[in-house]
Chain A
Amino acid sequence: MKPRKIRKLLVANRGEIAVRVMRSACEMGIRTVAVYSDADEWAPHVQMADEAYRIGPPPAKESYLKAALIVETARKSGADAIHPGYGFLSENAGFATLCERAGVTFVGPSAASIDAIGNKVNARRLAAQSGVPIVPGLDRAAAEGEDLTAIARRIGFPVLVKAAAGGGGRGMRIVREPKDLAKNLRDARGEAAAAFGDGNVFIERYVDRPRHVEVQVFGDRAGNVVHLNERECSIQRRHQKLVEESPSCAVDAKLRARMGETAVRLAKAVKYFSAGTMEFLLDPKGNFYFLEMNTRLQVEHPVTEMTTGTDLVKAQIAVAEGAPLPWKQDALVPRGHAIEARITAEDPFANFAPQAGEILGLDAPSGPHVRWDAGIREGGTIPMFYDSMIAKLVAWGRDRAEAIVRLRRALAELVVVGVPTLVPFHLHLLADRRFLRGDFDTGFVEREFSMSVLDRPRMAEAAAIAAVLEYRRRRQETPAAGGNGAGPTGWRRNAIREGLRK
């Protein structure tokens, strides 16, 4: 298919990433088409789009994962391109192929590239062939019910069991003892099958105390590839990233150049174009091992955008239209520091349990060098069918210290009412001495960072506020007991003002 100008773009996603993609499209004068499930009929991404089409009931399998229906919707609505966002169909080579066949431009890499490197087993083989360092492991998917104990012993315990498709920690297990291997393989397989429709898993050695450092790469259709430096993503829980930064405080200019060059080499090996991310483990000695490539835009792409002055979505669209890379490598030196906090509807005091619910109140942060990418609004709901990430809060500073202080300031401005969020976790983390020193690895949060130590510094004040609210509620219910002479009308008016009915 010959690349051509995009006039109308269907965004095959929801939430904050759909909103973020539409913003860039809008600035480029491209009309936008949203698709939505029944759970999202009035969601922000639907609101923002020029057109919107229902694609099915709430479960993702019956809506946002319906590849053929989404392509058909693009065709019917006259959209000439589809942006997949992240998650859902973004790394599905079959979906990219469907788009190509229907004559709809897929804003992302070619189906062939996704096929070649999006699968973790293939990616490792390719990396090894291209001279990219990898962690020792099994170079094929494990067969169902296969006894891998001997192989795992050869690789060396602890081993990591991972889903061949997808990411985000689902279908991923650390196994420290041979006796736990079979059960974990089985569980990972089930989880991967449920999350990605692909139950294939593989195993590799688990590197203890590594950092997760990833390199943003970007290529055009002519075979030019650049890197946009690294992102530090070691602040994770259950393999789910919580905070990301660029640059990484563990990477100096020399290492950056080496990792960048390695990432570019691998991208070129699969003729990669559009945005992609090479994930590496970086051990305490500065050795790095290729983990996998994400053949899509990442959640944390804003920290790269803020330190390089780029708009990766615009560049994706331009490259999809056949344009050459908009940047030269030497213009992509990181400027200052950016840090992102993922705002998820999870309760850090209840073992980070995700919670669906209604957003009853929302005060979003703003101000200089602060970016708020959200998929929620006041009065909206967070459906239980999808990811718990509701927004990203990003701050830029001249250096890491300023970026962190700015993010703290912005977090203090943020008020979300209706569901618990990660805000208290972030405030606690951003004041942690080891975090501020940059002294952490991927196990930091789970190993050393317990939310139970977090006292609730303003518990007494909060109780005093609750007591006053309860007092007022009771006085409204029993006006006879009242002492301010406001009368029934006043009580009713107060009840409305209170705005706290349920």
Chain B
Amino acid sequence: MNLLLLRATARHLIHHPWQLGLALLGIALGVAVVCAVQLTQASARQALQYAQRSLVGPSTHRIEAAEGTLDEQAFAALAQQWPQLSFMPGVSGDVMLADAPSQRLQVIGVDPLTASGTADARLGPGFDLLRFLDTPGAALLNADTAARLGVVHEARLRVRGDDGPVEVTIVGIAPAARDGGPADDMLVMDIASAQELLGMAGHLGAIEVALPAGLRAADLRASLPVGWRLVSNATRLGAAREMTRAFDVNLTALSLLALLVGMFLIYNTSSFLVLQRQPLFARLRALGVSRRELLVALLSEAAVLGLLGCLAGLAIGRGIAGLLLAHVARTINDLYYRAAITEVATSPALLAGIAGLGLAATLAAALPPMLAATRVSVMRVARPGPGIERTPVHGALLVRLAGAAWAVAALLLALPTRALVPGFAALFACLLGAACLVPWLLTRSARALARRPALAPTTLLALRALSMHGQRAGLAAAALMVACATGIAITVMVASFRVSVADWLSTLLRADVYVSLTTRAHDDSRRLATFRRHIDTLPEVAATSAVVRTTARTAAGPISLLAYDLPAAARPGFRFIAGEAAAVWAAWDEDTVMITEPYAWRHGLAPGDSVAIDTAAGPVAFRISAVYRDYASERGSVAMSHRTYLRHFPPRDDAGLGVYAAPGVGAARLEQALRAAMGPAADLRLQSNASLRALSLAVFDQTFAVTDLLRLLALGVAFVGIVSALLAQQMERLTDYALMRALGFRRDELLRVVLSQTLAAGAVAATLAVPVGLVLAVLLIDVINVRSFGWTMNMHVPWTRVLTAWGSAIAAALLAAALPAWRAVHQAPASILRND
């Protein structure tokens, strides 16, 4: 490579730092968003791994109960039956810090004798077994958690357990999670102390076991008591990863969208840099520089820019990941699995991959303008002419491209698949097709308007500029349209989702007060049932409903099983998507089940089909009577009547109660009566209908906070793109403006010329973004959401927010024009004309 040639092309950038800065910013922002999302997802995965490792220790399998906990005496019998196996019984549960209730810790109870003998990493290298056994309430924390809580060795920590505040003693600080220690926010205790703290005396959460080579899992499985099961750790880890797959794909798609907007910016900046250096390239070509040499020099320049932009993007992305992490952690913990996601994972391989993606995107976006540079006519040397050539829009080509993109989108949507990736590809193709139309629409509109008679000179000049130099303004407008349409689509999708969830909650939650257990009351396994019998006699109570929530097994894997005991007042709360209500309730107690919409979607089931569920007497086929709307779980549930449940499954305590007030009794009075009935134990949680609904919607809003953040980032990238494109356009036209000034244009007139162009570009982009955004919203609602979660919803367009987005796009365009306009009106015309 000829370094002097590279220097000749690149020095232009050094002498135009703002162009260099914008090019770098465009690359950096695009990469930053992808980097932030990827790092956040990697952090979540890493936290999950740490949590799993902390929970499973050095085991290969786990024994757990199909429902609830394992009986400690049954475990003793199992251990006697398999003396050659090393079992590690454990319990786990959450406690909160007594002095900081918002800070939760996960208590893990392990058998220190077994664990220390197997070099369990959870205990750390310097584990003092005697101290652990001797000290009442002894516990370990990892170094990071200890530092965050300000806890040192031998410190006492007050936590709130089942019976109020309890003091634990930190007898050791284990290594950090990344160094093989316990997960963050995890308190490792002796099993007996943990059982006491969590109110699980006589019960085990799970038993870890390391199966030696030669022992078949099936043999151990066959010897387990009824209701116990053996699950391999690999399966469990895979299942947890699978749970968040749709969530991950959605976030990745949003981040790639930001990169796409970034690529618009890079393309735009590159094409401007090429355009501006046309005389330079012509001179190089006149001196005999070949096209290939020129292309190599320009691509090298782009690679250096891309690399610098990527490095900056990685640094910015690392910062944004810190912001995203809290939102994503809360969503994952609320919806998927328990893992303390506290630190941003930064593996060199991941960072290198992101940088590679950013570099490839940069080169791909820069390649078309660079190829154009190599085709610069050498004759420009002899006939320099105007500084910048026209950049007309190839309308027919753009329309064909748009048509092709939409045809691809239609084909992808027609594919007989439920996969998410083709859905997103169709969405992107649809968006790209619309983006192709923007420059064409802009120049066509400008040309048509410019034909109107008696236009003011400033308006005419602005319109002519748009029609003659439409490519650049069109690109900026396309980037703005993409960002704005995406924003509108996400807004409509989230609003539709929220309205559907609110509607579903208001239909489903028909009771006046809901009752649930505050802790797992193992000492009284019938606590809610007892309470229900008691309050059924109260005059304030008209009726009660109850639900048993458990996990059952099917051939396709575990399912969430709900057993409802419903009064007549509760039944209208179910909204059926398939199945007749009258028939459903008529056969409600006759071995029929209702399934939720996500369950039906995932398993391809409909009314009339059946679900075979394992019972104590073997698999029983339950006929599906209906599919009902439910947004509680994306994995789906199967619901049956409580009577049906009792015919096939062992009795279990209710998971919650719904209490209906007697006529004339308000919710407040009912709640008061229930509190009085509860007595001093205060082990039940009472929530009014309104507060439960508000809480559910708060969780919903929290879940989508990360989406909002990413949407704003994409808009930010688009905004920088518009500034860059407008600056480029105005720089191209400096000579024109200088000439206008020389001809006697006032500054305000010139300002009007510049701003009119921007306003027109912004208006076309924003106006097109509305229908495009609505189409994208339909795809998000009817394709992406259904394929991701199995949920359908009614479309709800929040017109005020859509109009706000429309206005914001135009305002962003005008704001972006401020700097270029200032440059245009404050330049010295004589110097520009002389240089030309």
A and B found bound together: no
- Measured CB to CB, the residues of A under 8 A from B are none
- Measured CB to CB, the residues of B under 8 A from A are none
